[in-house]
Amino acid sequence: MRLSLRYRLLLPLTLLLLGDAAATAWAAATAARSAERRLADQQWAVARTLAEPRTTFPLTERVLQQMKGFSGAEFLYVHPTDPPESTFPDPAPHPPADVPTAALPADGEDHTLGPPVEVAGRAYRCLRLPLRGGSLYIFYPEALRRTAVRDAVRPLVVLGGVSGLVAVGLAVAFGSRLVSRVRDLDARTRLIAAGDFRPMPVRGADDELRDLCGAVNDMARRLAGFQDELQQTERLRVLGQFSGGLAHQLRNAAAGAKLALELFLAENPSADPEPLRVALRQLARIEANLRQFLALGKPPAADRRPCDVGSLVDQAVSLLRPQCQHAGTVLVWKPPADPAVLPGDAAQLSHLFGNVIGNAVEAAGPGGTVEVQARSASKGVVVEVADTGPGPPAAVADRLFEPFVTGKDQGIGLGLAVAKQAADAHGGTITWERRGGRTVFRIELPATPAG
């Protein structure tokens, strides 16, 4: 049987309220007995005063009226030889025949108001005391007794009832709010299971449920990251399957073009070789890019040799100059003042610089400017590439170095991903920022890369 959380919370409270009701009833009964005992003590105090041997004043109607004013009871004194004296209106009532004579109790014994009787249509509690050869009847009104008992019991009943109702109200409100938060959490987890990884608003007091909501949001963020990684991995897998045959054909075509250019240069020694050499370098770059494309996502092979960073950047700049001249883009190269040599993989570093500078040239566009400078730093080499382009779109700015993330209409988003992979492989970093209206990519390579 499924029991709602609300009722699980209310069940212990119900048991506590039952205990509170029992305690209140016991306290009320005790207060009622105490009130009745005080009234009885009061009546017996009057009886003891009258029974004192030193008490010699006559029990006349006037004396009995004074005692009535003190105690609130009615009195009837009956003597065998004298007429009865009473505080009742005339005529005096007949003494109740079924009321036994009561003896004065010893100190410490409980007092009673006597058995119930009815006189002139009113209910009383009656005591019969032997006194001076006659009998003194003390009639305490039942209405006064009930009033005294009610006054003694009412505060306890009201306090217990109000506190119980307040406790029930607070428990219901707290339980409903808690159940509502649990239901919100349940709904949010179902949305996460359906693929909606948006964080849920964290409301309520700072308690365990708030911590649980934070944990669920953290789980959603992690799942969203895992989903992105899974999609990226799937795209890479599909791309890898597709690229095998395509890369083979492209490499064959590039190799054929290189061979044709080399034969032309061999057969025509008088021709201007520089444009053809640039074309050969571009074809070699195509081959290298294809190899890097196929190796994306795989751990790069470590082939560390001393590399002149200035020379590698100069090669990348020289490959891109014809493209800049054709597009009208100004490409400024500021080589380092001193040789900047560090151990690394020349092919990977060439791809790193070529991709970053090529990305800047495309971003700057016709009429734009790209400035490249390299310098030695205290712990390695720093290369900065600045372009006058508008910068990456806000939608992809935070994920610029992830594969397949691009702000270009015809881009596939692999150039900067390859660059970051190369920088990571050399223990370096690549970052970007907007500075002075320019987009600046900063590449830092340590002189002693890890691994």
Tens of pLDDT, residues 36-91: 888 888 877 777 777 676 666 677 888 888 888 888 888 888 888 888 888 888 78
Q: What secondary structure does DSSP assign to 141-153, as a single string?
A: EHHHHHHHHHHHH
Is 342 within 8 Å of 444 (Cβ atoms)? no
pLDDT of residue 252: 65
- The answer to whether 369 touches 329, Cβ cutoff 8 Å, is yes
Most confident range (mean pLDDT) of 84-98, 105-119, 163-177 is: 84-98
Q: Show the DSSP H helices in 60-133 as ranges.
A: 61-71
- CA within 13 Å, CB half, 179: 14
For residue 415, the model assigns a pLDDT of 78
Q: Between 427 and 299, where is the model more confident? A: 427
Statement: residue 150 has pLDDT above 80? yes
**What is the pTM assigned to this prediction?**
0.44
Report the phi/psi class of residue 328: left, alpha or beta, with left for phi > 0 and alpha for psi in -120 to 50.
left
The 3-state DSSP composition of the chain as helix, strand, coil percent (nearest 5) reads: 55, 15, 30
CB-CB neighbours of 209 under 10 Å: 18
Neighbouring C-alpha atoms within 13 Å toward the C-beta of 123: 7
Q: How far apart are the C-alpha atoms of 347 and 405, rounded to whole Å?
A: 24
The predicted structure's pLDDT at residue 313: 92
Residue whose structure tokens are 């900063």? 442
Q: Which CATH number does 300-446 carry?
A: 3.30.565.10
372 confidence band (pLDDT: 50, 70, 90): very high
Per-residue confidence (pLDDT) for residue 332, from 0 to 100: 94
Give the lowest-confidence range in 39-43, 263-267, 362-366.
263-267
Q: Which residues contact 428 (CB under 8 A, 6 or more apart)?
A: 380, 443, 444, 445, 446, 449
Average pLDDT, the chain: 79
Q: How many helices (H) and strands (E) does the chain have?
A: 8, 12
33: pLDDT strictly greater than 80: yes
Q: What percent of the chain has pLDDT over 90?
A: 12
Residue 377 is classified by DSSP as E
Q: Residue type at 82?
A: D
334-369 burial, b for 16+ CB within 10 Å, e for fewer?
ebbeeebebebbbbbbbbbbbbbbbbbbbbbeeebb
What's the whole-number mean pLDDT along residues 441-450? 83
pLDDT of residue 402: 82
**Residue 131: C-alpha distances to residues 65, 116, 128, 162 (Å):** 17, 21, 9, 50
Distance CA 358, CA 285 (A): 12
Q: How far apart are CA 287 and CA 261, in angstroms?
A: 15
Mean pLDDT lowest for which of 255-259, 271-275, 300-304?
300-304
- The reported pLDDT for the residue numbered 411 is 60
Q: What is the pLDDT of residue 439?
A: 94
Helix (H, G, I), strand (E, B) or coil at 122: strand
Query: What is the reported pLDDT for 384?
Result: 95
Predicted confidence band of residue 383 (pLDDT cuts 50, 70, 90)? very high
Instruction: Indicate whether 297 pLDDT > 70.
Output: no
- Sort 93 into a burial class: Cβ within 10 Å, 0-12 / 13-18 / 19+: middle
Range of weakest confidence among 210-219, 226-235, 330-339, 429-438? 226-235
Domain parsing of the chain, residue ranges:
5-152, 300-446
Answer whether residue 127 shows pLDDT above 90.
Answer: no
Distance CA 11, CA 26 (A): 23
Q: Residue 329 has what pLDDT?
A: 92
Which of 151-160, 164-173, 292-301, 395-404 is predicted with the least confidence, judged by mean pLDDT? 292-301
